[in-house]
Amino acid sequence: MPLETATKAKGERALSPRERVQIAVNRVGHSYRPQKGRAVTALEDVSLAVKDREFLALLGPSGCGKSTLLYLIGGFLPVEEGSILIDGQRVAGPGPDRGIVFQHFALFPWKTVLKNVLYGLEKARLPREERLSRARAFIDLVGLSGFEESYPSQLSGGMRQRAAIARTLAIDPSILLMDEPFGSLDAQTRSLMQGELLRIWQRSKKTVVFVTHDVQEAVFLAERIAVMSARPGHVKEIVEARFDREDPDLLRSPRFVEIVDHIWNLVRAEAIRADRGGAP
C-alpha cells in the first residue's frame, strides 16, 4: 500500500507519538541533469518511513544519493518522481518544521555565537526578549554558555558545530536533518560530539535523519540504519540498532560488533558493485 494512502483501520488503536510515521518517502526518484552530458540518476524507487522522534541514519557508499535524499526531505530539491510527506503533507519546499545542519558549520563568520543563533529567530520576527531567551537557552543546551560573544574563528571545530546545532534548534523544527555534521572533525572531537548529539536528541525530542559514511558512527547514534545501494540509490536494507548508549563497554559488546560487521559487509558489497559500474 502506498505510504500516503495508508489509513487507520476502523477500531484500530491510536498510535503513540513514537509509533506515528512523521516522514513518508514513497517511491522517490531523482536525476541530476548537467548542461552538458547525460543525466545521472541519483535515486530510484526509494521508499522509507521515519517515525516521530526517531533517530535514523542514512548510510551507503559514496555517490549513493544519501545526501540527495536528505535535501529532498528538506525541500531543497524538487521531488521529481514519487512523493515525500511530512506529517501527511507533501513536501513542496523548505519549511520551519525542518532544520538542517551541514558538515562545514555554515555559520556567519562576522557574527558572534549569540548573533548566529539569533539569526533565524529574527527572521521569524519573534519579540526581542523571547529571541534572547530562546537563543541563550539553546546555547546552554549545546554547552556553549560563556561563549556567546565569541566569533566562529575563535572557536574549535567542535564548538563551531555546537553553535550550528544551536542555531538550527532555536527555530524549533520538529525534524533535524544532518548531513555528515562531524565529517570534518578530528577523531576525539567527533567522539565527544556524538555523545553530545545523543544528549541533545534525548532532551529535545526531535526526529533526526543523519547522513554519514561512518558505519560505527551510524550504529552508535541511530535507532535504525537505512543502508543504501550503489547509484542509482535505493534502500537495500534497514537494520535495527537499539542499545543502552550509557553502557561504557557498548562499542566492544558482541552485539554492537556484529551489527557493525553486518552493515560494513553490506556497504562494502555495494562499493565493489559501484566500482564495477553497477554489475553484480
Instruction: Give tens-digit pLDDT for 178-226.
Output: 999 988 888 888 888 898 899 889 888 899 999 999 999 999 999 999 9
Cβ contact 60:267 at 8 Å: yes
pLDDT of residue 254: 94
Quote the pLDDT of residue 279. Answer: 54
Q: Is 239 domain-assigned?
A: yes
Q: Residue 112: inside a domain, yes or no?
A: yes
In a domain, 123, yes or no: yes
In whole angstroms, what is the distance from residue 164 CA to residue 146 CA? Answer: 16
Would you state the pLDDT for residue 278?
Answer: 56
Show the domain range for 78.
Answer: 41-275
Q: Tell me, what's the pLDDT at 37?
A: 79
Asked, for residue 268, whether it belongs to a domain, the answer is yes
The residues of the chain scoring below 70 in pLDDT are 1-18, 105, 277-280
Task: Give a yes or no: residue 65 inside a domain.
Answer: yes
2 assigned to some structural domain: no
What DSSP line would sit under 92-104, residue for residue? -S--TTEEEE-TT
**Residue 261 counted as domain residue:** yes
Q: Look at the chain and report how many structural domains it folds into.
A: 1
Distance in angstroms between the alpha carbons of the first and the last residue of the chain: 29
163 alpha-carbon distance from chain centroid: 17
